[in-house]
Amino acid sequence: MRRSTVAVCAAAALPCAAQSITGYHIGNSLTWDSEPAFLSHYAADQGMALQVGYHINCNRSLDMIAANPTQTCINVVPGFGYYQDAITNVDLTYVTAQPFWTPSSTLGSDIVVISDIDARLSMNPNNTNTVLYIYQGWGWDWFMNNGSWDEPIVDDLDTLTDAADEYFVHLYNRVDAQLSRPVHIIPVGRVLNELRLRILAGEIVGVTQLSDFYRDPVHMSYDIGRFAASTTTAAIVMDRPPFGMHNTWIAIRGDGGYSTQTYIDIENTIWDVISADTRTGINTCLADTNRDGMLSPTDFTAWINAFGQGWSLADQNRDGMVTPTDFTAWIANYSAGCN
């Protein structure tokens, strides 16, 4: 199993119930659509504590954010401040950086800014192992629907930043090879593309078109769109399966008129995408309930605890609910083992 350094409680008999995470998100309105301020609610319902800061500069690429480091469109969080201060002065578990396609932004400039983020993190000895996530945005509604997502992208430093999936493949590979710290990806774009495919196959209840996930040609809708982006992010940075996270979302944000099954279908899509993408760094073994990277009898104790708390780790049959049937599913998952 490929392991992220975000949520490891080695040799623990229980999941990381008292774990405290501190994160920082750098990007524009696409990062804001992942609802970074909402992530603490997900964490609390998973028995975790998450403090989060963010530097959001709307309609700006990473090079433009770096060139104007005190310009934002959303007020920064007290105690964190602007990104250059936060990543140097705050002890962070993770940082996300979101590329964006503007005339000035290229593969080379994205690498320069991400490398600078790495260097500033390294100024703080406590941030040596801070995980750096590349936040993969998505294209416009038409972009996702007309095949542009799959277009080939030249792996060259002068290539303009693009929303296509292959652009992020090149960016990730280059950054991962260059930096010594853990580098992972939050593939929200891939999640949206998979949702598109499942909508076409009639597999997302109550949704007939990808446009339902957008509130305008570019941004996520305030209901299932932002739910998809935020839950993808939460599941990865917390190293938790997304099953049942809709309960947290609906309790605070409402259901937007969609059924519970719609949200469960989205959660399963998220899991299928992020668990198949090794770049996310998550633990894909559902039976490894204490998240220590191995299967052992202590995972049974951990499952009992997760079941009692109603955490997503206990939902072994992926139906969005924590019920006694999950015990049978855990036994099956445990017996099947994990790669």
Question: Which pLDDT tens digit goes with each residue over 227-270?
Answer: 999 999 999 999 999 999 999 999 999 999 999 999 999 999 99
Q: Is the pLDDT of residue 3 over 70?
A: no
Q: Is residue 242 a contact partner of residue 312, using CB atoms and an 8 Å limit?
A: yes
Alpha-carbon gap, residue 244 to 282, rounded angstroms = 18
Residue 281 exposed, middle or buried by CB count within 10 Å (0-12, 13-18, 19+): buried
Among residues 261, 284, 307, which one ends one of the domains? 284
Q: Is the pLDDT of residue 56 over 70?
A: yes
> Does 130 fall in a domain?
yes
Alpha-carbon gap, residue 289 to 319, rounded angstroms = 17
Alpha-carbon gap, residue 12 to 257, rounded angstroms = 41
- 284 phi-psi bin (left φ>0, alpha ψ -120 to 50, beta other): alpha
Residue 191 shares a structural domain with residue 313: no
Residue 234 shares a structural domain with residue 308: no
Side chain identity, residue 146:
N
Q: Is the pLDDT of residue 17 over 70?
A: no
> Does 10 fall in a domain?
no
Among residues 284, 301, 330, which one ends one of the domains? 284
Residue 244 shares a structural domain with residue 309: no
Q: Is residue 294 a contact partner of residue 15, using CB atoms and an 8 Å limit?
A: no
The widest CA-to-CA distance across the chain, in whole angstroms, is 55
Among residues 262, 284, 306, which one ends one of the domains? 284
> Does 34 fall in a domain?
yes
Q: Is the pLDDT of residue 16 over 60?
A: no
Q: State the Cα angle at 112 between 236 and 180, rounded to 5°.
A: 55
Write out the E strands in the chain. 20-27, 49-56, 94-97, 131-135, 183-186
Segment 129-169, tens digit of pLDDT: 999 999 999 999 999 999 899 999 999 999 999 999 999 99
Segment 280-313, tens digit of pLDDT: 999 877 777 788 777 888 878 877 887 877 777 7
pLDDT of residue 337: 82
Residue 250 shares a structural domain with residue 178: yes
Residue 306 shares a structural domain with residue 292: yes
pLDDT of residue 14: 38
> Does 12 fall in a domain?
no
Residue 289 or 174, more confident: 174
Residue 190 shares a structural domain with residue 261: yes
Residue 193 shares a structural domain with residue 330: no
Residue 292 shares a structural domain with residue 216: no
Structural domain harbouring 81 = 20-284
> Does 336 fall in a domain?
yes
> Does 8 fall in a domain?
no
Residue 109 shares a structural domain with residue 64: yes
> Does 122 fall in a domain?
yes
Q: Which positions ≥6 away from 254 have C-beta within 8 Å?
A: 223
pLDDT of residue 178: 97
Other CB atoms within 10 A of residue 31 CB: 27
CATH number at residue 101: 3.40.50.1110
Write down the pTM of the prediction: 0.90
Residue 220 shares a structural domain with residue 301: no
Average pLDDT on 179-196 reads 98
> Does 29 fall in a domain?
yes
* DSSP secondary structure code for residue 211 in this structure: G
Q: Return the bridge partners of 55, or none.
A: 26
Residue 289 shares a structural domain with residue 167: no
Number of domains forming the structure of the chain: 2
Residue 200 shares a structural domain with residue 299: no
Element (H, E) at 330: helix 325-336
